[in-house]
Amino acid sequence: MPCEHRLLSRRSLILAAPGLVLAAPAFAAVPPSGHLAFAAWRNGKKIGEHRLSFAQAGEDLTVHTEVALSVGLGPITVYRYAHHATEHWRGGRFIGLESRTEATDNRIKVAANRTERGVAIDSSKVGKIVLPPEAAPLTHWNMAMIRPPLFNPQDGKLLKLSASRREETFSAPGLRPQRATHVILAGEMGVDDWYDAAGTWIALRAKAKDGSTVDYRRL
């Protein structure tokens, strides 16, 4: 939902898929298994999956994201979306990202690299820009780094967002009720993320432009 990231549009939905408060080391959010997987549901119907894999070597962490979504109108597929991203982190600090997004209506490539001036973005959609040094991609898995400034890993655009969070009890199909941190993103998109006591991403909910609701449920 890369990030996601805005994920879907065209008569169907837009999901900020796809990474809000610095509270723990960046790698604390890496699950012990090294993998995270979600089913994406839209108005009660499964439309695809979002998968992440983590490879850590010393202070270096590489995160691979694969998203595949498909929205149908009856038997006809009206929208397809595929997002592939690789993030690079070192010592809890964002270093770079490469992403490729292929959708029914466009194709976008992004390369982001930390430089002395800031985070340099080279995007086939927004061109070459330099973001503030503390900018990070909104890829959702890392609660500790979900804090402005954030950029969309799908197109490299700096996002206009505010973030807040609260502690609450979270429950969803397939998950027992548990205490969780609820992170709320507001501004040019509306997204809710939930994280368990260990800081692991466990769920997402987003409201699409057409009024539909998209939910991520752990697999």
In a domain, 12, yes or no: no
Q: Please enumerate in sequence order all residues whose Cβ is within 8 A of that of 210, keeping only pairs 6 or more positions apart, or say none.
A: 11, 12, 13
Q: How far apart are CA 191 and CA 20, in angstroms?
A: 11
Looking at residue 57, its amino acid is A
Report if residue 19 sits inside a domain. no
The HSE-up count of residue 86 (CA atoms within 13 Å, CB side) is: 5
How many Å apart are CA 154 and CA 100, to the nearest integer?
7
What's the pTM value of the predicted model, to 2 decimals? 0.84
1 in a structural domain: no
Q: What pLDDT does 27 receive?
A: 67
Each residue of 72-112: pLDDT tens digit? 777 787 889 999 999 999 999 999 999 999 988 889 999 99
pLDDT in tens, 148-182: 999 999 999 999 999 999 999 998 877 789 999 99
Domain membership flag for residue 21: no
Which amino acid does the sequence have at 14?
A: I
| Residue 54 lies inside a defined structural domain of this protein | yes
Which residues on adjacent β-strands are paired with residue 89? Answer: 61, 94
Contact 16, 155 (CB under 8 A): no
Range of the domain at 65: 26-218
- For residue 16, being part of any structural domain is answered with no
Asked if residue 18 is part of any domain, the answer here is no
Total domains in the chain come to 1
Q: Is residue 9 part of a domain?
A: no
Beta strands 136-137; 150-151: pairing state: parallel
| Terminal Cα-to-Cα distance of the chain (whole angstroms) | 15
Give per-residue pLDDT as tens, 122-153.
Answer: 999 999 999 999 999 999 999 988 999 999 99
* Contact status, residue 146 vs residue 137, Cβ threshold 8 Å: no
